[in-house]
Amino acid sequence: MRPVCGRWRLCVVSDAVLKANGVGKTYRMAGQPLTVLNGVDLALERGEFVALQGASGSGKSTLLQLLGGLDAPSEGEIIFKGKSMRLQSPLDAAIFRGLHIGFVFQAYHLLPDLDALENVCLPALVQRAPQAQAETRARELLAAVGLADRMTHLPTELSGGEQQRVAIARALMNEPEIILADEPTGNLDTGTEAEIIALLAQLHREHNLTLLVATHDDVVAAAAERIVRLKDGRVAD
């Protein structure tokens, strides 16, 4: 298949929906270089559930940020559906995230002054969806994650597991093709952890989501179809 250059400089054609090619990331700390990722290659196939494992400091969170367009690699490139995102402007990166990526974070990142329904609506409203349409979908998503009776509750009125369910519903709001979850059970007890992982696996099956979960937990990783391990900024196997 012949590559065709376009807005994102399509240079590589791949069947993978999201791909890291030789990705590295180096920061400056106190004037000294700190390399977090070094030549990472990773391909996510459409509809695949992958666990990204590694110890703290192995680069899991950094890789998710690069894959999701929250940051740019120091070397290598991120490719989405064959299009290199190397030359994306900040606006292009924001549009990419809003349309194609759903994020789930360990710390939930819900806005404290908004109730569950309003938090879930936010991604759609940022994309200028009609308010009524956004609220209808948000209600459906909250019901799907088991929170039909908690929609008007503020984050402080919800348990940790309930807050993460709200965060998952929010991640699904714009019908993304890819969900990137960074230690989504890190702040939860064992029982709630199992519920959240079961929920993510169920949503993955029902919606054919491409799901990448960064975790240090073997129980969480066991739910995935494939495990990729990072060690010292590199893919270990």
* Range of weakest confidence among 92-101, 104-113, 218-227: 92-101
**34-45 average pLDDT score:** 94
Distances in Å between the alpha carbon of 175 and those of 28, 130, 171, 183, 190?
36, 15, 8, 21, 29
Question: Which structure tokens are listed for 147?
Answer: 């929170």
- CATH architecture of the domain formed by 46-72+88-235: 3-Layer(aba) Sandwich (3.40)
Task: Show me where the domains of the chain are located.
Answer: 46-72+88-235
* Range of weakest confidence among 109-123, 156-170, 194-208: 194-208
Between 14 and 73, name the one with better pLDDT: 73
Between 90 and 195, name the one with better pLDDT: 195
Confidence of residue 74 (pLDDT cuts 50, 70, 90): very high
Can you tell me the distance from the alpha carbon of 229 to that of 150, in angstroms, rounded to the nearest whole number?
37
